[in-house]
Structure formats: C-alpha cells, structure tokens
Amino acid sequence: MTAEDSIPLLDENVGAFYARYGRAPGAELHDEPGLTWYATGIHDSFFNGVARASLSPESAADRIGAVATVFRARGLPWQWNIGSRPQPADLAQRLASLDPDSVIPLTGMAMSLKSLRSAPAVPVLTVEPVRDHDALSEWIRIGTSVFGMNDADAILAVEAGLGAAPDLPWQRFLARLDGAPVGTALVFLTGGTAGIYWVSSLPDVRGRGIGTALTLAALSHARKRGATLAVLQASGVGLKIYRRLGFREVSRNALVVWRDGGRTETADERG
C-alpha cells in the first residue's frame, strides 16, 4: 500500500475514533451528511467537537457557524479535526476566523503490520489489556495526568460506558513497572486499519522504552484481529519514536481548539 492509499484510511480511523465518544451513555453523536460532531459535556476539548467534515464551499460558512453556536451556547471546550484533505480546501482559514485558542499540528503516519517487530525487553515492565474497572481507573488516572485533562471522574464514566470487552473494536493497554501503573495506549480498529491513541507514560519513567512497548503490544493485538495497516497522528515529540518503529509520514493534519478558560494545550500533546 502506498502512502497515498493510506491517507483516506487514516482519516476514516481518526474520524471514527472521535465519533466513538458520542456513542457513550449520556453523550450525543450528530452524524449528518458531510459533518459528524459529538458532545460528552466533559470540560475538555478532546471530548467535544467535530470528528470529520466534508463541506461544500457554499454551505461551509453556515454549517461551521451552526456547530460553533452549539458549543458556545453550552460553554463547552471543543475541537475540530481538520483531517488530511480538508473540504473545503480553505477550511483551516475559515476556522481561524472563529478565533480558536490554538491549532495543534499533527503528522499523519502509517506502517504495514507485516513489518511489525517484537518489543525490546524492559526489566520489570509488563503490558496488559485493560479488562476490569480497577485497571480502567488506573488507565484513566495515568492518561489524564500525563495529558493534563480535566475531570478524570467524568472521563472514567465515559470510558467505562464504552466498555472494555475483548471483542470491541478498541482495546486499552496499561503498562506496569515493578507492579505500578506507568503508561497507557489504545488501539482502535476500522476494518483492516489499526489506529493508535492515548499513548502516555509518566514523566519520571520516560526514556525506558515504555511507550514503545505499549505501542507494539497494541499493534500486535491489532494484527491478531486481522489488521494490516497501522496509523496514528504524531506530535513533534512522538515523531522520532514512531519512525524508529517503522511508521512513515503520509500527511499533515491539525486539531483546531477552542476553550473557555480551561487548561492550555501544547503541540506535544495528544500523540
């Protein structure tokens, strides 16, 4: 598969991943022609926003304005996933006119799972799938701490509502170092494509191969489930790590973020 072939599969996976939050109990998913947006009510832009859009130049202004009005009226932080091939082509400029608080640049990356290798051994490190509420609580505590997310209890409720059964399209992984939880990852399947999300490790244990072990464990699970392509969106910090694993750049993407007095995000988050 060429880089060009992987781009629509990357965009499909990312859009479906964000839309997944709109299917949580108590959340909203609005899947309209050319526009999918979701709202959980959590006070963090990651959990409210536009998952995907393909708008005509003639309708874009009205439809962008309508979505922005909803989130502003509710006082919710939100984001817009622009994707690799924005429609209309000037989507980023149109969103800039709404005075976002930040634009987080991301690099779309892909690799064939045929080339997947084993993780190097890390002493006293284990990586396990998240299967029960206690492990999910630890997974949320680590992930929200690393990413600086607000309202961990509400995020736990959303993730618990989405489920942790082994046959779901998503699987979470928790790393433990000498028994203590230290890192997280999530793999999300759309057909034969495996998307990697929520990769995190606590600051005091970085540089020890934990992110690599988590990513490879998630991809190994995906390959066993029949996936043949792995995709992700990397920040500047994550690029070198993912290149070493075999990922290659295929696109330039961005998240446009609006917040109402919430935390400050950086370009090195959300990898």
Average pLDDT of span 231-240: 89
Is the pLDDT higher at 235 or at 61?
61
pLDDT of residue 123: 86
105/260 Cα distance (integer angstroms): 21
Asked whether the CA dihedral 81, 202, 134, 191 is positive or negative, the reply is: positive
**DSSP secondary structure, 76-105, as one string:** --EEEE--SS-SSTTHHHHHHTT--SEEEE
Q: Is the separation of the CB atoms in 110 and 36 below 8 Å?
A: no
pTM for the whole structure = 0.93
Whether residue 192 is predicted with pLDDT greater than 50 in this model: the reply is yes
pLDDT bracket for residue 1 (50, 70, 90): confident
Buried b (16+ CB within 10 A) or exposed e, 36-52: bbbbbebbbbbbbbbbb
Torsion of Cα atoms, 161 then 166 then 172 then 174, to 10°: 120
pLDDT of residue 236: 78
Q: Is the separation of the CB atoms in 253 and 223 below 8 Å?
A: no
5/75 Cα distance (integer angstroms): 39
For residue 266, count other CB atoms closer than 10 A to its CB: 12
Whether residue 266 is predicted with pLDDT greater than 50 in this model: the reply is no
The number of angstroms, rounded, from the C-alpha of 42 to the middle of its chain's C-alpha atoms is 16
Q: Please write the tens of the pLDDT for every residue from 98-157.
A: 999 999 999 999 999 998 888 777 889 999 999 999 999 999 999 999 999 989 999 999
- The terminus-to-terminus CA distance of the chain in angstroms comes to 24
Query: DSSP E strands: which ranges in 153-208?
Result: 170-177, 180-190, 193-201
pLDDT of residue 58: 97
Q: Residue 114: helix, strand or coil by DSSP?
A: helix
Structural domain spans, the chain: 3-105+253-258, 112-251
Whether residue 262 is predicted with pLDDT greater than 50 in this model: the reply is no
211/214 Cα distance (integer angstroms): 5
Position of tokens 């792995």? 230
Q: Please write the tens of the pLDDT for every residue from 6-26.
A: 999 999 999 999 999 999 999
The least confident of 2-11, 60-69, 115-124, 192-201 is: 115-124
pLDDT of residue 117: 83
16/231 Cα distance (integer angstroms): 13
The class (CATH top level) of 112-251 is alpha beta
Across the chain, what does the average pLDDT equal? Answer: 93
Q: Residue 265: helix, strand or coil by DSSP?
A: coil
Q: Phi then psi for 3, rounded to 5 degrees?
A: -60, -40
Q: Is the separation of the CB atoms in 182 and 201 below 8 Å?
A: yes
Question: Could you tell me how many residues make up the chain?
Answer: 271
pLDDT bracket for residue 244 (50, 70, 90): very high
Q: Beta partners for 4?
A: none
Is the pLDDT higher at 152 or at 1?
152
pLDDT of residue 191: 94
For residue 141, count other CB atoms closer than 10 A to its CB: 15
pLDDT of residue 269: 37
Strands 48-53 and 35-39: antiparallel
